[in-house]
Structure 1
């Protein structure tokens, strides 16, 4: 698969996920809507990181650093959310 075809395929997948996000926000509400929305957002983040930030072309250490940064951001947001819920 050529690089251009790969980029167009990821772009089409992102558009499909955008449609799913819009549909989920209108059809689902409450905790299930939040879970679906966050799941779709994680998939979109992974696609953008992998293809457009060229993580597929990077050595293992750069991929590990990107994963570590994402994991640390997740930890920080989780702790901030827990702090908000307990006040």
Structure 2
């Protein structure tokens, strides 16, 4: 830990990310008002993935972490994606 270089992120970056998160939140609210049948949930999940990417990358400083930590987070997202796919397949083929 003592050999790590500190990273300083300008406030402007945080402000841009905040505006993007607000826009994505409003987009996810707006997308639920559109009648897209079974694709509404998938569209809302896409917005959620984009928001979680921004939070993980900038607010949790994953952008500046080591490769193995990024790999572990990627592995967790891969497991999450498999669970979502299984859930959608269960919903799709339910009798």
Q: Taking structure 1 as the reference length, what is the TM-score of the superposition? A: 0.81
1:76 aligns with 2:83: yes
User: Larger % of helix: which?
Assistant: 1
Within 5 Å, give how 1:38-57 maps onto structure 2: 38-57=45-64
TM-score where L is the length of structure 2: 0.75
CA distance in 2, matches of 1:78, 1:32: 14
Residue correspondence of structure 1 range 1-40 to structure 2 within 5 A: 2-40=9-47
Structure 2 Cα separation of the partners of residues 27 and 79 of structure 1: 25
**Alignment length, in residue pairs?**
87
Structure 1, unaligned runs of 5 or more: none
Rg bigger for which structure? 2
